[in-house]
A = this chain, B = another copy of it.
Amino acid sequence: KKQYRIAVIPGDGIGKEVMPEGLRVIEAAAKKHGVDVKFDHFDFASYDYYEKHGEMMPADWKDKIGKHDAIYFGAVGWPAKIPDHVSLWGSLIKFRREFDQYVNLRPVRLMPGVPSPLANRKPGDIDFWVVRENTEGEYSSVGGRMFPDTDREFVTQQTVMTRTGVDRILKFAFDLAQSRPKKHLTSATKSNGISITMPYWDERVETMAKNYPGVKWDKYHIDILTANFVLHPDWFDVVVGSNLFGDILSDLGPACTGTIGIAPSGNINPEGDFPSVFEPVHGSAPDIAGQGIANPIGMIWSGAMMLEHLGEKQAADAIVGAIERTLGERTLRTRDLGGNADTTACGKAVAEMV
């Protein structure tokens, strides 16, 4: 029987506070469902590490975590102390690129007991996936500045879409849509305004769709698509977008389901050549760090996604079920959801219900 080796990286701020709860719940589910997990802890990819060593990660970071079955990640970044391009590009975005985690996968699901900011929506009404391209597109590093400090100054930055990059994310999204009862894929575009890259995206969607006759697909320009997330969240099943559009939709979607504090995500390398990273959608939240009040559900739910990715669906489902039951009970929720539990109490509650 396989032992899974998980690299654990709490990172910064509330990442360090929610991580123990994530581990607690994974351990409970693993025990109950006979899954063998071993955790290896790492302190890099954090401001503390940077302060001590002058860099976000050791030179041999790939040797240290590149052979693990998955990486369980808290949150990174502390804008007041360290610029984002150092902290994020030196860790999270580096993982995505160098471990070729070309899928960023996030559920948008209205959970029981969580009030939606949308009027008259109840659990079951909103339940879809956002599939985001995670390695290229608008997040390129090609561009620069000319005529600095003059009136003629300008900057450019290229969006880059490769056939390889676009096709593989579309294939993942169509496969996911085909596996679901509704078999419906929505593509985010903006080909009426962004006149070169976005028509190319559309072209590849049309080509890929031919391989999936059983999948109904449609496309919306990103402007009206964000509007439809608010007006008709029940229209969606699987939504696929470029790096930027996927980023936007996977914050907006969780907001429509009440809070980004509980949303999980996976940065996935589907071929398994490299470990995938599972992390809550929320950041390190310097404003509430150190108080023990952060909501651990995003971290815990990310643990469920990780177990599912590893093939341990039973243990994963047990965690999601425990989350649903915990959220349903007023007192066991954290304050951001109107409860009065602290981070640990909420984590323990989920662990007990697993």
Contact = CB atoms under 8 A, between A and B. Distances in A.
A121 to B, nearest CB: 9
Interface stretch (A14-22, A38-46, A112-120, A174-182): A112-120
Interface stretch (A154-162, A324-332, A342-350): A154-162
B154 A196 contact: no
B160 A159 contact: no
A59 interface: no
A13 interface: no
A223 B247 CA distance: 6
Contact of A156 (B88, B191, B196, B247): B196
B231 A255 contact: yes
A138 B159 CA distance: 9
Interface residues of A, number: 63
Contact of A260 (B77, B151, B227): B227
B226 A251 contact: yes
Nearest to A145: B200
A84 B151 CA distance: 34
Nearest to A192: B84
A252 interface: yes
Contacts of A260: 224, 227
Given A154-B160, A155-B161, A157-B159, 16 more contacts: A77-B192, A85-B195, A88-B193, A117-B118, A139-B194, A141-B196, A143-B158, A156-B161, A156-B197, A157-B158, A157-B196, A158-B159, A190-B247, A193-B243, A227-B252, A248-B248
Interface of A: 77, 84-85, 88-89, 93, 115-120, 138-139, 141-145, 150-164, 190-197, 199-200, 222-224, 226-228, 230-231, 243-244, 247-248, 250-252, 254-256, 260
